[in-house]
């Protein structure tokens, strides 16, 4: 690429723009639908490149990616999940425990690939542009890499499931991650039978998607009715999304 030529700041062509929104709107957290089919190195490579091109504070790129295929390693993580899952059930009100226990909340063993995305908080030295006053920004940057990978996977027809029900220290040890590196996200990745049309927790009646208009404030927190035009647009678009239609 000629570095002196600037890219025009135009919308993507319609079909590509629609594709971006479709990937965002139909991305799902996948747990129970993994297929054992292999994922090609090309495809996995694209996911990792997409993740590596995420934004990061001070261009820190604090992430690394542990690609896990070994059954023994996966088993250790799965054991950590089972322990934490049993503990977690008891933290919910009694009336919700049976529902909690009935939810499928991981696909560690079934997914052909697991990926742990980490954060090296020292990667760019002690003083980082943008992290000087808000230390957690490096962790947020690794999460940006997660989301890039998740959306790229959707575009590729793959599923991704984030598992966070375990003691992170057990996972650290299972993967030999050094003490100073933070395991940020443990992802199950692979081909899937299908995508659920809605978040599974929504379909199970655990929680509903919140009305977006209640989450938008204008100039000051609590000032929520100042822009009827935008609120109307949000309602229409959310209606379309709920009906399973394309946003664009």
Ligand X SMILES: Cc1cc2c(cc1C)N(C[C@H](O)[C@H](O)[C@H](O)COP(=O)(O)O)c1[nH]c(=O)[nH]c(=O)c1N2
Residue span binding ligand X (CB under 6 A) among the ranges 111-119, 160-168, 174-182, 217-225: 160-168
Helices then strands, counting H and E runs in the chain, come out as 8, 4
Residue span binding ligand X (CB under 6 A) among the ranges 25-33, 45-53, 61-69, 222-230: 25-33
Contact status, residue 83 vs residue 6, Cβ threshold 8 Å: no
Q: Does 162 bind ligand X (CB under 6 A)?
A: yes
Q: Contact with ligand X (CB under 6 A): which of 105, 111, 137, 153?
A: 105
Q: Does 31 bind ligand X (CB under 6 A)?
A: yes
- Separation between Cα atoms, residue 86 and residue 167, nearest integer Å: 12
Pick 40 or 102: Cβ nearer ligand X = 102
Maximum CA extent, the chain: 63
Q: Contact with ligand X (CB under 6 A): which of 26, 43, 99, 164?
A: 164
CB of 217 to ligand X, least distance (A): 23
- Separation between Cα atoms, residue 61 and residue 18, nearest integer Å: 29
**Complete DSSP assignment for 212-248:** GGGG--BSBTT--SS-HHHHHHHHHHHHHHHTT----
**Residue 32's closest CA among 153, 180, 192, 141?**
192
Cβ neighbours, 10 Å, residue 138? 26
Q: Does 170 bind ligand X (CB under 6 A)?
A: no
Q: Does 165 bind ligand X (CB under 6 A)?
A: yes
CB of 6 to ligand X, least distance (A): 35
Q: Does 140 bind ligand X (CB under 6 A)?
A: no
Q: Which positions ≥6 away from 140 have C-beta within 8 Å?
A: 57
Q: Does 204 bind ligand X (CB under 6 A)?
A: no
CB of 201 to ligand X, least distance (A): 4
Binding site for ligand X (CB under 6 A): 28-29, 31, 105-106, 161-165, 199, 201
């Amino acid at each position: 690429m000629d570095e002196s030529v600037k890219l025009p700041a135009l919308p993507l062509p319609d079909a590509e723009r629609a594709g971006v929104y479709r990937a965002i709107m139909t991305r799902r957290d996948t747990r129970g639908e993994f297929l054992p089919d292999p994922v090609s190195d090309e495809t996995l490579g694209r996911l990792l490149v997409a993740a590596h091109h995420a934004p990061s504070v001070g261009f820190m790129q604090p992430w690394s990616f542990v690609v896990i295929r070994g059954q023994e390693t996966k088993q250790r993580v799965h054991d950590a999940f089972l322990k934490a899952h049993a503990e977690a059930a008891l933290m919910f009100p009694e009336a919700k425990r049976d529902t909690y226990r009935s939810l499928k909340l991981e696909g560690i063993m079934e997914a052909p690939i697991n990926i742990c995305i980490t954060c090296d908080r020292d990667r760019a030295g002690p003083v980082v542009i943008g992290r000087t006053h808000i230390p957690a920004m490096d962790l947020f940057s690794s999460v940006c890499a997660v989301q890039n990978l998740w959306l790229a996977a959707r575009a590729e027809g793959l599923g991704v499931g984030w598992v966070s029900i375990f003691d992170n220290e057990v996972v650290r040890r299972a993967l030999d991650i050094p003490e100073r590196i933070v395991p940020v996200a443990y992802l199950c990745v692979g081909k899937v039978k299908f995508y659920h049309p809605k978040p599974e927790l929504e379909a199970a009646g655990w929680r509903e998607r919140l009305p977006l208009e209640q989450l938008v404030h204008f100039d000051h927190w609590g000032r929520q009715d100042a822009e009827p035009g935008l609120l109307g647009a949000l309602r229409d678009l959310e209606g379309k999304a709920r009906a399973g239609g394309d946003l664009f």
